[in-house]
């Protein structure tokens, strides 16, 4: 019969390490690095706040939803997915949530990251046998703010990893906010199990601003 893992196992072949830093079976180094998100390491764009965001009819609903999820006690919409074309403010709102949280609830762990960065971190962690540190970084959060989720389309291994990250955060009642440059079902190569989880929360969109809103943006 298979022996239960002790927790001190190689993340590559599963062999017991017996307290050693190198696996005697496959030679992989033990993943001893545990990455944590500390204050000031949230990767936020500090200029992107709710106060600097110009609200118009094109984005009012998305702005209201973003404001709602930034109030820690509410957890009204989880996950929140904001869709829009380029340059219409979805990244601004994503950072506004993070900036509000770190200023209002300094004990909360927040990370803003692009989907491309998530993907590259996962690839680097896989190559260097540091998946445990990667998972610690992304799953030990109160707010995961993931920009441009469309970039993981067609990336099967990355989607599998994000699926488990999503489930861990959601199960623990942590807030997940994502952006996408189109409706999620129009992104090629996104697995249905991810789409169904994204659609279980709230999806909002930002439309092209009218003349009045564009003038207000210019004045701002």
- Summarize pLDDT for 143-174 with one digit per residue, the tens: 999 999 999 999 999 999 999 999 999 999 99
Candidates 54, 42, 62, 43; CA nearest to 179 is 62
> Which of 85-89, 110-114, 179-183 is predicted least confidently?
85-89
Candidates 45, 13, 40; CA nearest to 29 is 13
Please state, in angstroms and rounded to a whole number, the distance separating the CA atoms of residues 102 and 43.
11
> What is the percent of the chain with per-residue pLDDT over 70, rounded to a whole number?
84
pLDDT at 182 over 80: yes
pLDDT at 33 over 50: no
> Which of 76-80, 90-94, 138-142 is predicted least confidently?
76-80
Q: Which residues of 193-215 are buried (b: 16+ CB within 10 A; e: fewer)?
A: ebeebbeebbbbbbeebeeebee
> How confident is the model over 64-78, as pLDDT tens digits?
999 999 987 756 799
Collapsing DSSP states into helix, strand and coil, what is residue 198? helix
C-alpha distances in Å from residue 81, one per residue of 42, 116, 127, 177 = 20, 17, 30, 6
Pull the structure tokens for residue 175. Answer: 């807030």
Task: Check residues 144 and 217 and name the one with the higher pLDDT.
Answer: 144
pLDDT at 29 over 60: no
Q: Which pLDDT does position 26 carry in this prediction?
A: 56
pTM passes above 0.85: no
Mean pLDDT of 202-215: 91
Pull the structure tokens for residue 106. Answer: 């300094």
């Amino acid at each position: 019969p298979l022996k239960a893992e002790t927790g001190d196992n190689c993340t590559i072949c599963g062999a017991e390490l017996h307290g050693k830093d190198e696996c005697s079976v496959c030679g992989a180094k033990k993943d001893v690095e545990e990455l944590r998100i500390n204050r000031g390491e949230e990767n936020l764009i500090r200029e992107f706040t709710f106060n600097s965001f110009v609200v118009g009819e094109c984005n009012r609903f998305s702005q209201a939803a973003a404001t709602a999820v930034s109030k820690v006690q509410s957890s009204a919409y989880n996950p929140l997915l904001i869709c829009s074309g380029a340059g219409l403010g979805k990244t601004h709102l994503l950072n506004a949530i993070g900036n509000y949280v770190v200023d209002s609830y300094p004990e909360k762990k927040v990370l803003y990251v692009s989907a491309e960065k998530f993907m590259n971190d996962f690839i680097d962690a896989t190559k260097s046998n540091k998946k445990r540190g990667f998972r610690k970084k992304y799953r030990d959060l109160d707010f995961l703010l993931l920009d441009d989720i469309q970039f993981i389309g067609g990336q099967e291994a990355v989607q599998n990893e994000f699926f488990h990250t999503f489930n861990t955060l959601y199960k623990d009642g942590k807030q997940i906010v994502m952006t996408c440059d189109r409706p999620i079902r129009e992104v090629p190569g996104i697995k249905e199990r991810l789409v169904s989880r994204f659609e279980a929360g709230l999806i909002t969109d930002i439309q092209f601003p009218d003349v009045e809103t564009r003038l207000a943006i210019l004045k701002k």
